[in-house]
Amino acid sequence: MIIGIRGVGKTVLLKKIKKEIENDYLTCYVDLSATSGYQMGELTEMGIILHFYECWMEACKEKNFTTIFKKVKKYFKTKNFGLREIIDIQGIPIPVPKSEDDYKKLSQFVLELPQIIYEEHKNKIKGSILIIDEFQVLKDLGDRLDTFLWFLRSVIQNQKHTAYVFSGSINSRDSIIEKIAGKDGAFGGRMLNIEIYPFSEETVKNYLNEKLPSLNLDERGFERFYKCANGIPFYLNTFAKLLQKNVQLNDSKVKEEFKKTLPFIAFNTSMELVNFT
């Protein structure tokens, strides 16, 4: 589990890790805030599972593991699923369930997919990794959250070649952490917990000296700059790019510049949130 406030760099870190390991592993990145159910304010367990499925299929397509598509089609046709139809989207078979009553069978199959894929392609990959980003949106399940988490645990706890990474824009005191990784939570004692913190002042100084040496901040100017950006990489980068270059900036000058650029920073922040959702 990786947590931290929004803008601190969790998604950037995860995508960098994904890029570095994707040659050896089948890696699947899922942004839960991008599910159609969440966008419409109607997040459901079925919607989440279908989102997992589509992401696994897309990951297989990128790896050219298209033989799994035939097995998937056969499984859907031979098992007792209440499927309205199986549609084909760019070569990927997508099941369309008739009702929520089919949730348990379909979800169990989808959650077992990474293990099935590994068994078929273990000469090409070391395992499968599912990255679940923005997991805090699971709170929209309300009273059904505990049931969903414990079902998820029951299916995946014996998988030997699949790893799961939960990432969320929350702080360490959020209630959902207890439900997932607390001692009485679904994954209690089975999860490594990492919190990503904002940059320290020393880190920011080194970062600016390396990436933007033309930015000339005196001591008080730097203190004000750090306070305005709060050590959050997204704000640091945005604000630093807008400041005057090759001009010494003191405390009052940084405050003046911050007030002038605040509408632009706010606009870019809102666009970043739109990109997340």
- Quote the pLDDT of residue 89: 67
String of DSSP letters for the chain: -EE--TTSSHHHHHHHHHHHHTTTEEEEEEEGGGSHHHHTT---HHHHHHHHHHHHHHHHHHHT-THHHHHHHHHHHHS---EEEEEEETTEEEEEESSGGGHHHHHHHHHHHHHHHHHHHTTT-SEEEEEEESGGGGGGGGGGHHHHHHHHHHHHTT-SSEEEEEEES--TT-HHHHHHHSTTSTTTTS---EEPPPPPHHHHHHHHHHH-TT-EE-HHHHHHHHHHHTT-HHHHHHHHHHS-SSSEE-HHHHHHHHHHHHHHHHHHHHHHHHHH-
pLDDT in tens, 55-97: 999 999 999 998 888 778 777 665 666 666 666 666 777 766 6
Per-residue pLDDT, 126: 95
Q: Are residues 16 and 91 in the same domain?
A: yes
**122 and 238 part of one domain:** no
| Same domain, residue pair 252 and 188 | no
- 52 and 143 housed in the same domain: yes
Q: Using the 3D structure, point to which of 163, 195, 227 is the last residue of a domain.
A: 195
Q: Are residues 183 and 247 in the same domain?
A: no
Instruction: Determine the pLDDT at residue 145.
Output: 92
Same domain, 148 and 58: yes
Q: In the chain, how many domains are there?
A: 2
Q: Are residues 153 and 272 in the same domain?
A: no
**Same domain membership, residue 19 and residue 121:** yes
pLDDT for residue 100: 54
Residues 145 and 229 in one domain: no
Together in a domain, 183 and 257? no
Identify whether residues 205 and 175 lie together within a single domain. Answer: no
Domain's final residue, options 195, 218, 247? 195
Predicted confidence at residue 70, as pLDDT, reads 78
Low-confidence stretches of the chain (pLDDT beneath 50): 271-277
**Per-residue pLDDT, 271:** 47
Q: What is the span of the domain harbouring residue 242?
A: 201-276
| CATH code, domain carrying 119 | 3.40.50
Which residue, 141, 160, 195, sits at the end of a domain?
195
Within this chain, do residues 191 and 227 fall inside the same structural domain, yes or no?
no
